[in-house]
Amino acid sequence: MKKIEAIIRKSKYDEVKEALHAKGVDFFTYWDVSGIGNEESGLTYRGIKYSTYDIARRVLSIVVEDSKVDSVVETLLSSARTGEVGDGKIFISNIEKAYRVRNSDVDGGALS
């Protein structure tokens, strides 16, 4: 299982949520964060063009089986994109074990 952590613009949340729902993603959590960044862009600083931003962001944490990762990432990339600096990032990490609290189901059974 993998955890897909998507740090997106808060303004794109509804669109992303609908796209995930259409892909059959059955469980995720989200919360609001602040994002600090410097990315090569408009302003010039010491000869390099930078844009500093502090954008209202929402983190979506989605745990899925390995076979679904690519499809969910594609869905996130297309639904969360504006094309402007500050669209956010997606990070993939490993989940070793999962439990459903209601009935102690584990791993695949906890996610389905």
Question: Which residues are at the interface with a second copy (CB under 8 A)?
Answer: 1-3, 6-8, 17, 21, 26-39, 57, 59, 61, 63, 73, 76-77, 80-104, 110
Minimal distance in Å, beta carbon 55 to a second copy?
10
Smallest gap from Cβ 100 to a second copy, in A, equals 6
Separation of alpha carbons 62 and 21, rounded Å? 12
- Residues 6+ positions from 48 with CB-CB distance below 8 Å: 40
**Least Å from the CB of residue 8 to a second copy:** 7
Kindly state the smallest distance separating residue 15's Cβ from a second copy, in Å: 12
Cα distances from 111 to residues 15, 26, 52, 61, 71, in angstroms, run: 23, 8, 38, 13, 16
Q: Which is nearer to a second copy, 44 or 93 (CB)?
A: 93
Torsional sign, CA 49, 51, 52, 57: negative
